[in-house]
């Protein structure tokens, strides 16, 4: 049963020339930053922060933020900077970091210090997520993708130990060495802020989250593969000696709500603002450079199911706007219509935590705010009251029916 609902936007830089990106065949990593306008970005930041603040004041349980690099999809190259601003501009609601890209950091202790600072500034409202990042972020930071998983694991261990073990102490690892680990700033929440792990169905990430008993947050995959994710999580959890609950499951979904189904459907097209896609266009070797995905993961049944399914998010084939609706990667409609569609998702996933990716692209500020109003007044109360009708592992939902 849903306990908390959060609001999210990628904070896209929508002012870059689509025609130039179309001519080049890509819109990130190598797309020239001469097309960035600081003046326009300042206006967009103001609008996005106003919407995030409004969401926390009107009924959302908090906001989600994330991090991407070299990509107009997101003006959040530092999730910690965005989080610090929100820590002082919002007064209530959790700030969910999904999350810090650990493998690209040469000094994970800096991440530990910054998140601890933000947790204190916010009054203990941080949820800390860690991610491996897209492959192109390894390229952009000159980080060897072969060691992406190793660096993620070790950086996580350094950060958690720095938060929970009194210093000073030494750390001698494969990728990080410290003569002295003794950060003065430690989190307000004890033993540390909650840690959530988001992902796009990578079996290694699902397994890792379960082994650490962290909630796994699915980033709006096709609904037909969601059982694969949480069946694996449950299997690993059982071997680790614990029984999963809805609080081990989170779900991010693109949502467009308007007064009518027709209006919401048209506004939802803004999720496909980048050359007719959600995340933009890039060669696959930028998203998954050699070594980024292990042989085990690439050959797994779940990975094959994921890459064989049409997927809006990176790592799967790009799809049409209509198919994104059919596979429940986007839901749109009036409040009543959206509630029914979300209930279908809840019957499959039964998450304690949901994130509404509630605005994107060239959607106007007024439309975004009205959508927030409809979500907080009608949609959120209805889905929190809903009792999911499902027994996971025994029941499958035919997508698109």
Q: Which two tokens stand for residue 16?
A: 């870059």
CB atoms within 10 A of CB 389: 11
- Report the distance separating Cα 236 and Cα 251, nearest Å: 19
Do the Cβ atoms of 313 and 219 come closer than 8 Å? Answer: yes
- Report the distance separating Cα 11 and Cα 73, nearest Å: 7
Cα–Cα distances (Å) from 216 to 10, 11, 316, 328, 336, in that order, read 20, 23, 19, 19, 28
- Report the distance separating Cα 18 and Cα 27, nearest Å: 8
Q: Which residue has the higher pLDDT, 296 or 202?
A: 202
pLDDT of residue 284: 85
pLDDT at 144 over 50: yes
Mean pLDDT estimate for the chain: 92
Nearest to residue 6, comparing CAs of 84, 98, 70? 98
- Candidate from 108-122, 229-243, 336-350, 378-392 with smallest mean pLDDT: 378-392
User: Which three-class secondary structure string do you get for the chain?
Assistant: CCCEEEEECCCCCCCCCHHHHHHHCCCCCCCCHHHCCHHHHHHHHHHHHHHHHHHHHHCCCEEEECCCCCCCCCCCCCHHHHHHHHHHHCCCCEEEEEEEEHHHCCCHHHHHHHHHHHHHHCCCCEEEEEECCCHHHHHHCCCCHHHHHHHHHHHHHHHHHHHHCCCCEEEECCCCEEEEECCCCCCCCCCCCCEEEEECCCHHHHHHHHHCCCCEEEECCCHHHHHHHHHHHHHHHHHHCCCCCHHHEEEEEEEEECCCHHHHHHHHHHHHCECCECCCCCCHHHHCCCCCCCHHHHHCHHHHHHHHCCCCCCCCCCCCHHHHHHCCCEEEECHHHHHHHHHHHHHHHCCCEEEEECCCCCCCHHHHHHHHHHHHHHHHHHHHHCCCCCCCCCCCCCCCC
pTM for the structure as a whole: 0.93
Residue 331's beta-bridge partner residues? 255
pLDDT at 324 over 50: yes
pLDDT at 391 over 50: no
pLDDT at 396 over 90: no
- Report the distance separating Cα 177 and Cα 227, nearest Å: 40
- Report the distance separating Cα 51 and Cα 297, nearest Å: 38
Mean pLDDT, range 193-221, rounded to an integer? 94
Mean pLDDT, range 109-121, rounded to an integer? 98
CB atoms within 10 A of CB 80: 19
pLDDT of residue 319: 87
How much of the chain, in percent, has pLDDT values that exceed 90?
82
Do the Cβ atoms of 205 and 211 come closer than 8 Å? Answer: no
Mean pLDDT, range 357-382, rounded to an integer? 97
312-339 burial, b at 16+ Cβ within 10 Å, e below that, comes to bbbbbebbebebbbbbbbbbbbbbebbb
Q: Which two tokens stand for residue 72?
A: 């107009």
pLDDT at 364 over 60: yes
The residue ranges of every structural domain in the chain are 4-385
CA angle 308, 310, 314 (to 5 degrees): 95
Region at 55 (left for phi over 0; alpha for psi -120 to 50; beta for the rest)? alpha
Q: Which residue has the higher pLDDT, 167 or 276?
A: 167
- The CATH architecture assigned to 4-385 reads Alpha-Beta Barrel (3.20)
Q: Are strands 62-65 and 94-101 parallel, antiparallel or unpaired?
A: parallel
pLDDT of residue 117: 98
């Amino acid at each position: 049963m849903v306990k908390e609902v959060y609001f999210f936007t990628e904070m896209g830089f929508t002012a870059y020339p689509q025609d130039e990106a179309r001519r080049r065949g890509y819109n990130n990593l190598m797309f020239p930053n001469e097309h960035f306008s600081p003046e326009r970005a300042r206006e967009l930041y103001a609008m996005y922060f106003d919407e995030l603040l409004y969401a926390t004041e009107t009924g959302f349980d908090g906001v989600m933020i994330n991090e991407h690099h070299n990509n107009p999809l997101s003006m959040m190259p530092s999730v910690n900077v965005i989080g610090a601003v929100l820590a002082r501009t919002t007064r209530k609601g959790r700030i969910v970091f999904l999350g810090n890209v650990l493998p690209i950091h040469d000094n994970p202790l800096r991440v530990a210090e910054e998140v601890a600072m933000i947790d204190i500034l916010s009054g203990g409202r941080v949820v800390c997520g860690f991610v491996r990042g897209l492959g192109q972020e390894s390229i952009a930071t000159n980080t060897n993708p072969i060691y992406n998983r190793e660096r993620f694991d070790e950086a996580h261990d350094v950060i958690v130990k720095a938060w929970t073990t009194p210093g000073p102490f030494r750390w001698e690892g494969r990728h990080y060495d410290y003569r002295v680990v003794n950060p003065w700033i430690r989190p307000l929440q004890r033993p540390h802020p909650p840690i959530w792990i988001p992902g796009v169905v990578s079996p290694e990430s699902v397994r890792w989250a379960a082994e650490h008993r962290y909630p796994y947050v699915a980033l709006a995959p096709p609904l037909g593969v969601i059982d694969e994710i949480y069946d694996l999580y449950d299997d690993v959890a059982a071997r680790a000696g614990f029984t999963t609950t809805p609080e081990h499951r989170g779900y991010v979904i693109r949502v467009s709500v308007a007064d009518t189904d027709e209006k919401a459907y048209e506004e939802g097209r803004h999720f496909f603002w980048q050359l007719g896609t959600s995340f933009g266009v890039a060669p696959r070797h930028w998203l998954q450079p050699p070594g980024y995905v292990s042989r085990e993961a690439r050959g797994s049944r779940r990975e094959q199911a994921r890459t064989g399914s049409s997927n809006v998010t990176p790592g799967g084939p790009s799809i049409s706007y209509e198919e994104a609706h059919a596979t429940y990667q986007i839901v749109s409609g009036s409040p009543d219509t959206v509630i029914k569609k979300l209930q279908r998702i809840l019957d499959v996933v039964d998450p304690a935590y949901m994130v509404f990716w509630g605005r994107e692209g060239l959607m106007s500020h007024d439309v975004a705010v009205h959508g927030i109003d409809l979500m907080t007044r009608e949609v959120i109360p209805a889905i929190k009251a809903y009792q999911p009708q499902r027994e996971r592992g025994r029941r499958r939902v035919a997508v698109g029916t």
